[in-house]
Amino acid sequence: MKDELNKSFDLLIKKLLNWMNSIIENLPNLILAFLVLLIAYFLANYISKLTLKLIGNRVKQKSVSTIIARLTTVVIVMVGLFLALGILNLSQTITSLITGAGVLGLVIGLALQGTLSNIISGIVISFREKIQIGNWIETNGFTGEIIDINLKNLTLKESDNNMVMIPNKIILENPMKNYSLTPYIRVDLSCGVGYESDLEFVEKLTKDTLEKTFEKIDESKPVEFFYTEFGDSSINFRCRFWIKGTKRVHTLNATNKAIIAIKKAFDKEGVNIPFPIRTLQFGNTLDLEKNTLENGS
């Protein structure tokens, strides 16, 4: 029994000595690997702050700039880790880590396919200059002001004060109308006048009224007037004019203002905007007396 304990103790001492010798032999490599990891850590922090600052000036969404800065940090630290393992001659460990990371990435990618798609779409949307917070847009059947763009969805505030959250993937894959890209909006207004009206006078009166009501933008954007059809009770026309605005509500306000101004001008000049009417005309004359005699007999 005592001999077996002595043998075990001697074996333990031998192992410890071997480890000690290995540590001493590889001490320069250990110090160098530690320095590489330390440099990678500080370099990752510096580049992360620099990335956050550069992207923050371009992207207003803090969540997007933060995730990009963190991804940059992870990449730099992983590079430092692989270099340190290479210095320690642990190439097999590097291969195992890469293989494990690949398998884990594949599993996570399959499990979170929709989430990752929205994250990537959110990053792409955030870098698009034509989609900014505060823009008034119309997309996927919803119209409103962009309140927030994050890594999951885009939030719209509709005119009725309701919030709509649309996944980034859907935003990227479908058409979008952005009312805020240009400082001007064209308003389209339709009306009709009676058949007895002087059409040339109506056209001039409508154009003059709209030009007095709204500020003229420039000579290339005049008020346009077109007679469109002979209606059932009126001759219908359509006029188009430009206003300064970037939101749908600006169009509604201008339409309301234009209708009031045109109605006042037409009333003042005696121009009739007729009600829809229907005239029934009978071509035969009823002989009531004859019918009475026939019914009596």
Rounded to whole angstroms, the Cα distance separating 83 from 85 reads 5
Q: Are residues 191 and 138 in the same domain?
A: no
Average pLDDT of the residues in 153-160? 87
User: How many CA atoms are closer than 13 Å to the CA of 163, on its beta-carbon side?
Assistant: 7
In this predicted structure, what is the pLDDT of residue 45? 86
Task: DSSP letter for 283, please.
Answer: -
122: helix, strand or coil: helix
Q: What is the dihedral of CA 81, 87, 90, 93, to 10 degrees?
A: 20
Range of 216's domain? 184-269
Rounded to whole angstroms, the Cα distance separating 254 from 251 reads 5
Rounded to whole angstroms, the Cα distance separating 131 from 179 reads 11
Instruction: Please report whether residue 294 resides in a domain.
Output: no
Q: Pick the residue with more confidence: 116 or 263?
A: 263
Q: State the pLDDT confidence band at 140, using cuts at 50, 70 and 90.
A: confident
Average pLDDT of the residues in 92-113? 60
In this predicted structure, what is the pLDDT of residue 29? 74
Q: Are residues 96 and 35 in the same domain?
A: yes
Q: Are residues 199 and 152 in the same domain?
A: no
- Which CATH number belongs to the domain containing residue 62 in this structure? 1.10.287
Rounded to whole angstroms, the Cα distance separating 199 from 227 reads 9
Q: Are residues 78 and 48 in the same domain?
A: yes
Domain end point (choices 64, 79, 111): 111
The structure tokens 């160098």 sit at: 32
Digit-coded pLDDT (tens) for 43-70: 888 888 888 777 776 666 665 677 677 7
Helix ranges (H only) for the chain are 2-25, 27-58, 62-87, 91-111, 113-126, 168-173, 199-213, 248-269, 288-296
Per-position DSSP letters for 52-93, written without gaps between them = HHHHHHH---HHHHHHHHHHHHHHHHHHHHHHHHHHTT-HHH
Instruction: Please report whether residue 78 resides in a domain.
Output: yes
